[in-house]
């Protein structure tokens, strides 16, 4: 049984139909990236999984259980956490308080101190308020807030957006470690180089449907797809 299985998923914002019979599977402990142009439906796919899209139909099975009819809270309690685009940390709370809020909102959380071990950059800023953190620190804090809730499946929406290259390297290292600790990761990315280094498998989403599924190794050699769906020149994806 796959950890997560989307089968014929359709999603809507009001009258606007944006996912069309989208299907994908995620196996335990893999890192899967969803690629595709702006507006292709990547964020909506993640929101469909956690139940925050206004309406979706089809089957979404998590550990074999259909979660389409479940509430957002129930899906969260089942161990699926989404770190949304544009990091949402509490600006007036300190790093430590931000972590405690997430910790206390969860029935079976991890120890907050463990997060400082995984994110040493946060350890240096325990008493700093969210609004005074750099973009990179805010992103680390967003991921740490999700991770302290001990997810089995971590969904990350464009985690590298707006981050300096050196922070992107740190983030890649942290996410590699997270997966070694038995967390499965699905992320969306515009940064193709980052996703190629981190992920094992990719889906390309175009106009609300998956148009490609395969390993990163295979996708690297598919210049046609990179150009057609991601507008990436071959030279760019080679580094
Ligand atoms: N809240 C909303 N209300 C109405 N339409 C929306 C809403 N959010 C997204 N859409 C539309 O749904 C489609 C898919 O958007 P989505 O945000 O999932 O794409 P995306 O692949 O994540 O794009 P990006 O790379 O820009 O983040 C787009 O046409 C978008 O305009
Ligand atoms: Mg998006």
pLDDT tens for the 239 residues of the chain, in order: 999 999 999 999 999 999 999 999 999 999 999 999 999 999 999 999 999 999 999 999 999 999 999 999 999 999 999 999 987 899 999 999 999 999 999 989 999 999 999 999 899 999 999 999 998 899 999 999 999 999 999 999 999 998 889 889 989 999 988 888 889 999 999 899 999 999 999 999 999 999 999 999 999 999 899 888 887 655 555 55
Q: What is the whole-number distance in angstroms between the Cα of residue 43 and the centre of ligand 1?
A: 7
Strand, helix or coil at 162? coil
Nearest to 181 by CA among 149, 152, 216, 156: 152
Domains of the chain: 4-79+151-238 (3.40.50.300), 84-150 (no CATH)
- Give the separation between CA 47 and CA 179, rounded to whole angstroms: 21
| DSSP bridge partners of 10 | 57
Nearest to 219 by CA among 193, 183, 190: 193
Nearest atom within ligand 1 for CA of residue 205: 21
For residue 181, give the H/E element and its range: none
At which residue do the structure tokens 């499965």 appear?
A: 184
Q: What is the whole-number distance in angstroms between the Cα of residue 49 and the centre of ligand 2?
A: 14
For residue 63, give the H/E element and its range: none
Nearest atom within ligand 1 for CA of residue 36: 21
- Give the separation between CA 128 and CA 92, rounded to whole angstroms: 9
Q: Is the CB of 18 under 6 A from ligand 1?
A: yes
| Helices (H), ranges, 85-239 | 95-104, 112-118, 120-123, 135-147, 165-180, 192-198, 216-220, 223-230, 234-238
- Give the separation between CA 165 and CA 171, rounded to whole angstroms: 10
């Amino acid at each position: 049984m796959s950890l997560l299985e989307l089968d014929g998923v359709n999603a809507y914002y009001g009258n606007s139909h944006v996912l069309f019979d989208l299907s994908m599977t995620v196996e335990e402990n893999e890192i899967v990236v969803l690629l595709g142009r702006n507006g292709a439906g990547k964020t909506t796919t993640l929101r469909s999984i956690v139940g925050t899209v206004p309406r979706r139909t089809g089957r979404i099975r998590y550990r074999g259980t259909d979660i389409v009819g479940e509430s957002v809270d129930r899906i969260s309690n089942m161990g699926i956490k989404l770190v949304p685009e544009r990091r949402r940390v509490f600006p007036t709370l300190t790093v430590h308080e931000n972590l405690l809020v997430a910790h206390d909102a969860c029935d079976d959380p991890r120890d907050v101190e463990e997060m400082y071990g995984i994110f040493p950059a946060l350890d240096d800023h325990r008493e700093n308020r969210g609004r005074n953190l750099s973009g990179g620190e805010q992103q680390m804090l967003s991921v740490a807030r999700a991770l302290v809730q001990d997810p089995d499946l971590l969904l990350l929406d464009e985690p590298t957006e707006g981050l300096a290259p050196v922070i992107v390297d740190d983030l890649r290292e942290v996410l590699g470690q997270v997966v070694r600790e038995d967390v499965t990761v699905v992320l969306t990315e515009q940064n193709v180089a980052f996703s190629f280094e981190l992920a094992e498998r990719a889906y390309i989403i175009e106009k609300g449907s998956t148009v490609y599924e395969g390993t990163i190794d295979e996708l690297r050699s598919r210049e046609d797809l990179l150009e057609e769906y991601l507008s990436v020149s071959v030279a760019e994806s080679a580094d």
